Amino acid sequence: MKTVILCGGLGTRLAEETQVKPKPMVEVGGRPILWHIMKIYEQHGLNDFVLALGYKGEVIKDYFLNYHARLSDLTVQLKSGSVQYSNPTAEDWNVSLVDTGANTLTGGRLLRLKSLLEAEGTFMLTYGDGVSDIDLTALLAFHRAHGKLATVTAVKPSARFGGMIIESGIVQNFKEKPQSGEGWINGGFFVFGAGIFDYLEDDSTVLEQSPLENLVRDDQLMAYEHPGYWQCMDTIRDRDALQEYCDSGTAHWLKDG
């Protein structure tokens, strides 16, 4: 099963970092937040990734192009240019890096991946800036059991994010970033069926607006309620909080901490 990670946003509230790199490449614990997100999926046997690139996507491409060499011992034959790798410690991941446009919005980025995903039937998707100790195996089982088109993971942090009203697991209302309120919010970690592409129009489509709202209208959006740890990296303060967890060996989103 493929996992899409949206990696194309500008990350304006992390401008100290994102002037030179895309937000998913901002490091915590000596690794890009993107690597941490991919490790969450790997822990549940999911290692086939599609990265939807945009702003400074070349930085992400360079990272993965050089990943194997960076984590291996090398012997270089200078005359021929041949390289022998030994003791590689790289993860067993398949990573597709797709340029989805510098100014494309979230739903538009997903739409540009239609040819890669439509035949999959079911795929997972999340943002390139949030980590969690979510049980992805249980999330997928929940999605398959309810038979609807889409599942969003609902989490309960502060009220500065988009809110949802949920009754018996069914999303009754979805509103992105309300001015006030508290309760369950969109934590990413979606599961979609291929029918999601019928709800996407063009590059200007914002996934969190009309597509999810129309899924609610059609009674096709379910919420997987995750009361455990979840944290997005929206600001420098968020980055520093994640770094503290890494420094103390209590990174909740990784099995080995």
- Structural domains of the chain, ranges and CATH numbers in brackets: 2-248 (3.90.550.10)
pLDDT of residue 257: 61
pTM of the model: 0.88
Phi and psi based region of residue 256 (left: phi greater than 0; alpha: psi -120 to 50; beta: remaining) = alpha
DSSP string computed for 178-233: -SS--S-EE---EEEEGGGGGG--STT--TTTHHHHHHHHTT-EEEEE--S-EEE-
pLDDT band at 226 (very low <50, low <70, confident <90, very high): very high
- Kindly give, in sequence order, each residue whose CB lies less than 8 Å from that of residue 141, ignoring residues fewer than 6 positions away: none
pLDDT of residue 167: 77
Task: Using the predicted structure, report yes or no on whether residue 149 has a pLDDT greater than 80.
Answer: yes
pLDDT of residue 90: 85
Beta strands in 67-129 (DSSP E): 73-77, 82-86, 94-99, 122-127
- Kindly give, in sequence order, each residue whose CB lies less than 8 Å from that of residue 114, ignoring residues fewer than 6 positions away: 197
If you average pLDDT over residues 76-81, what whole number do you get?
A: 94
> Cα(88)–Cα(73) distance, rounded to whole angstroms?
7
Averaging pLDDT over each range in 3-17, 155-169, 221-235, which range is the top one? Answer: 221-235
Cα 127–Cα 130–Cα 131 angle in degrees, nearest 5: 125
pLDDT band at 179 (very low <50, low <70, confident <90, very high): very low
pLDDT band at 180 (very low <50, low <70, confident <90, very high): very low
Among 18-22, 76-80, 118-122, 253-257, the range scoring the smallest mean pLDDT is 253-257
Mean pLDDT of the chain: 91
If you average pLDDT over residues 107-124, what whole number do you get?
A: 95
SS3 132: strand
